[in-house]
Chains A and B, each alone.
Chain A
Amino acid sequence: QSVLTQAPSTSGTPGQRVTISCSGTSSNIGSNYVHWYQQLPGTAPKLLIYRSNQRPSGVPDRFSGSKSGTSASLAISGLRSEDEADYYCATWDDSLSAWVFGGGTKMTVL
């Protein structure tokens, strides 16, 4: 059971806007930045969004993040087939003094 809660799967059609949610508590999301990772099939994870809404260089602006209270969201607009991947939220947990990840959401492009 992951400390952060994500839906196991979601799907969308090309061109659609989809969102992935991540729910936590006051000791993690509620008091720290949320970060998002993309893991394409068979590859290592890649930092996609940091500090809740910042994109590393090279990440398309189709990807955006937000945070409100103890929840966070990743939005993908103009969905493409290459966005088919697992997406993980992550943050620091003050109570655990540890990094915690969500269980991951598998994005399927129909």
Chain B
Amino acid sequence: QVQLVESGGGVVQPGVSLRLSCAASEFIFSRYGMHWVRQAPGKGLEWVALISYDGSKRYYADSVKGRFTISRDNSKNTLYMHMNSLRVEDTAVYYCANDLWQFCTIPSCFLMDVWGQGTTVTVSS
């Protein structure tokens, strides 16, 4: 059973940086692309970023492009999201999710399958 456990959330002031982690287990992490999706309080889902299984492809939502960086360490089975210049509107629960299929490199293949339970980021002065 795929397990994804997010961590690194917290309460921070606008403008600061934060790094989220997603520890993966019970599947071959290095074969699957990974995603970050967020959900602001009382709002819907917003896709944030994805990274291919080997890190060669990365895509971002316009709302975070240039501020957030998705990365992965396949030797540690861990996904990361480096968040810089945080804004109040970045306040959300951040979920990581793995791809449904292995070895995806084209957009039509990437698809969020299993999701973690999320970590909460609150940006407030």
Partners in one complex: yes
Q: How many A-B residue pairs have CB under 8 A?
A: 64
Is the Cβ of A99 less than 8 Å from the Cβ of B113?
no
Is the Cβ of A98 less than 8 Å from the Cβ of B60?
yes
**Known contacts A98-B59, A98-B62; is-contact A104 B95 (Cβ 8 Å):** no
Chain A interface mostly helix, strand, loop or mixed? Answer: strand
Chain B interface mostly helix, strand, loop or mixed? Answer: strand
How far does the alpha carbon of A102 sit from the alpha carbon of B113 in the complex, in Å? 17
Among the listed A46, A50, A101, A104, which residue makes an inter-chain contact with B111, where contact means beta carbons less than 8 Å apart?
Answer: A50
| Chain B interface residues (CB < 8 Å from chain A) | 35, 37, 44-47, 50, 59-62, 95, 100, 107-108, 110-118
A110 to chain B, nearest CB (A): 23
| Chain A interface residues (CB < 8 Å from chain B) | 2, 32-33, 35, 37, 39, 43-47, 50, 56, 86, 88, 90, 92, 94, 96-104
